[in-house]
Amino acid sequence: MGHPDLIGLGATVLIAGLLARIARRYGLPSIPCYMLVGIAFGPGTPGPELVRHPGDLAVIAALGLVLLLFHLGVEFPVDQVLGGGRRLFLAAVICIGVNVCAGLLFGLVLGWGGSEALVIAGALGISSSAIVTKLLIELHRLTNAETPVILGIVVIEDLFLALYLALLSPVLSQAGSAAGLAADVAASFGFLLLLFLVARFGARAVASLVDSREDELFAVLTIGLVVLVAGLSDRLGVSDAIGALMTGLVLSRTEIRERVVRLVLPLRDVFAAVFFVTFGLTIDVARLGAVAAPVGIAVALTLVCNLAAGVAAARLFGFNQRGAVNIGLTMLGRGEFSLILATLALAAGLDARIGPFVAIYVLVLAVVSPLLATHSRYAARLMPDWILRPGWRYVREETISTSCTHLDRIRITETDAEECPQCVAEGIDWVELRLCVTCGRVGCCDDSPRRHASAHARESGHPIIQSAEPGEDWRWCFPDETLVQAPLGGRRSATVD
């Protein structure tokens, strides 16, 4: 690579970083910025051309892809997934199934080809864990009751990605016959099984191979191992991405994991930025008009599917309208994995429209997802009660939290009372009843004339009330001003389903 290419690459990456820094101030992710700069200064766009031959960056971009998947493997929380229980797995299966099946049908309707439809299904079906995590942090929702469900689903999606790549690789290799395709699929899953066995039984031996007291040698050995396994995976027709992911999973189960995170993973951010910029450089803006309508339909389809999956998860875990909308909109963003699939498709010689389609699709959702997630309260107002279950008429717009600091004050969770004693004594009517879970006193709600439940909370200092209406199990904490629910997997009260 000559100096002009180095100058162009350096200038492009620098501009991408500056644009990403500006975007961060407004709560937008950095991945779209990298892609936009690549598109703007690539050979497919009129104007300044900083990188004339994007193919010259293929090895660096491949290294970015490998380190992205390696990072996913290192950070993969196996215990969290296994401890999520059946409801979490069911919620993830519904979310993945709805989005992937809708993406597959959409891809087939486009008529670009069967292999292309499989790529589109994966691109539309898998959320961006980076964007999802960033949203949860920036919106201060880490202690929300639905957040463990969101993170659990995203983690299971990451696991599904490995299986999907193993299935997709033989298809992209364009096996000549059904028998050849079956043999390639068997080889892919066989290699995947071998890597799982190494992760289960040989992790210590692998760790000893790369371990060194010197940080420099440790980083060199680890990168060398990751690239080697990724290359072997690609040579076997499995996909370099799978090899990198599984290598990360192996090292995540060893005592050197923290050193890997500290010394090796920072390199990921630099090379990943080059990967996204390079992807943008390959986009020909002349093709964008042909994919504009399909992108609009795909975005709308993803929005509907995500909201449907959010409702299904909310029904499983007993969340209200706000929780359902939060799940659906927070997971709306698509990013690195969609671009990885598009890159593999283009490298396999599939329809060239996949590149612009996925690029614009990711860009639109990367902007739309944070905006919609931020205003989820308004979407919750539009969701009728019957979609979830009766009983959320007064709390549908509120976030349910597991961070309430007054759960130790819960002592009484059931009552047979059918009237507000104070309203009866005063000879007035009430609307609904609320139970003080500390002392068991029943009072009328805030839609009633006297608001006896709130008055009792102020006078007694008892923090939490519970709805005493049939079929309702929500609780409200006055000091924290939030709906409260036991943490995921925690013990629920007798009145909660």
388 in a domain, yes or no?
Answer: no
Q: Which residue has the higher pLDDT, 475 or 161?
A: 475
pLDDT, tens digit (0-9, with 9 covering 90-100), for 392-417: 555 777 777 776 778 778 889 889 89
Task: Say which CATH number the domain at 49 has.
Answer: 1.20.1530.20
Q: How far apart are CA 104 and CA 55, in angstroms?
A: 30
Residue 98 has a pLDDT of 96
Same domain, residue pair 101 and 246: yes
In angstroms, the first-to-last Cα distance of the chain is 64
Domain residues for the domain of 213 are: 3-380
Q: How far apart are CA 491 and CA 406, in angstroms?
A: 15
Same domain, residue pair 468 and 330: no
pLDDT, tens digit (0-9, with 9 covering 90-100), for 56-76: 788 888 888 788 778 777 876
Same domain, residue pair 120 and 246: yes
State yes or no: pLDDT of 80 exceeds 60.
no
494 in a domain, yes or no?
Answer: no
CA atoms within 13 A on the CB side of 228: 8
State yes or no: pLDDT of 490 exceeds 70.
no
Q: Which residue has the higher pLDDT, 146 or 199?
A: 146
Residue 381 neighbours by CB distance under 10 Å: 11
Mean pLDDT of 77-90: 70
Q: Residue 391 in contact with residue 474, Cβ under 8 Å?
A: yes
Q: Which residue has the higher pLDDT, 204 or 309?
A: 309
Q: Choose among 87, 15, 76, 82: nearest CA to 47.
A: 15
Residue 492 has a pLDDT of 42
Same domain, residue pair 330 and 412: no
Same domain, residue pair 328 and 277: yes
pLDDT, tens digit (0-9, with 9 covering 90-100), for 349-366: 888 899 899 989 988 887
Residue 496 has a pLDDT of 32
Residue 493 has a pLDDT of 40
| CA dist list (Å): 338 to 119, 151, 294 | 9, 18, 16
Mean pLDDT of 416-436: 93
Domain boundary among 327, 349, 380: 380
Residue 488 has a pLDDT of 59
164 dihedral zone (left: phi>0; alpha: psi -120 to 50; beta) = alpha
Residue 497 has a pLDDT of 29
8 in a domain, yes or no?
Answer: yes
